[in-house]
Amino acid sequence: MESIRTVLFDLDGTLIDSIELIRRSYEHAVRVHLGRELERGEWLAGLGRPLRWQFSQYVRDEREVEAMIATYRGWNLAHHDELVRPYPGAAEAVRALHERGLAIAIVTSKLHASARRGLAHCGFEDLFDVVIGVDDVAEHKPHPAPVLAALARLGRDARSAVMVGDSPHDLAAGRAAGTRTAAVAWGPFDSAALQACAPDHWIAAPADLAGFSSVSAVGLDPNAAQPARGA
């Protein structure tokens, strides 16, 4: 097996703690347009997928989908900085990978500009030259297209890459693209949902992200699964 030379990161729930912002934005849009409250399982099921896909599960009219997206984004942008923060140790770990010379990129289902805002707000602004957002590709996670786009932009091969994420959609996209996969234990999905994706590695804490090196994936034992938050 080739050593890891490329690390692709999901953003929300992986490097930045924006889950409360996402949940409240989603609930606001559904409340405004559909006049009801959401169960946890409803908003969580779509987490990590594009807003268009999520809201099309509730309404079929394309204009109403667009209206829900606009409502979501308006609330999200207005409350972004007060509700978003980096996971402790994540920025330092990514910086260590950057300084070691590994190729790194963001692969997210949010808008490119919104991803850049989150990175800058949380101390990652100078670390990622390559960011693949929902508006950069035609197909989206769990489809492999965004992962393959990031690899192409980096000029790297999937065999020496790992896709790191907090959701089954991240892991499925990486697997389909031919990368190794790593599940993080601090996101909103429970461990059973992630274990079902058979990730190659489990990462117990954000600081452990620095364990990836050009030689090996130090300390990321796929047989030592850590329970995710909420398990």
Nearest CA among 184, 188, 181 for reference residue 162: 181
DSSP 115: H
- CA neighbours within 13 Å on the CB side: how many for 111? 11
Active-site position among 10, 12, 17, 170 = 10
Side-chain half-sphere CA neighbours of 45 within 13 A = 10
Phi and psi, residue 152, nearest 5°:
-65, -45
| Catalytic residue check, 10 | yes
Report how far apart, in Å, the C-alpha atoms of 167 and of each of 10, 109, 155, 157 are. 9, 12, 25, 23
Pure H helices in the chain: 19-34, 40-46, 51-56, 62-83, 90-100, 112-121, 145-154, 168-177, 191-195
Cα separation values, 189 from 152, 156, 229, Å:
29, 29, 7
- CB of 196 closer than 8 Å to CB of 215: no
Cα 62 from Cα 67, distance rounded (Å):
9
DSSP state of 114: H
Q: Which active-site residues does the annotation give? A: 10
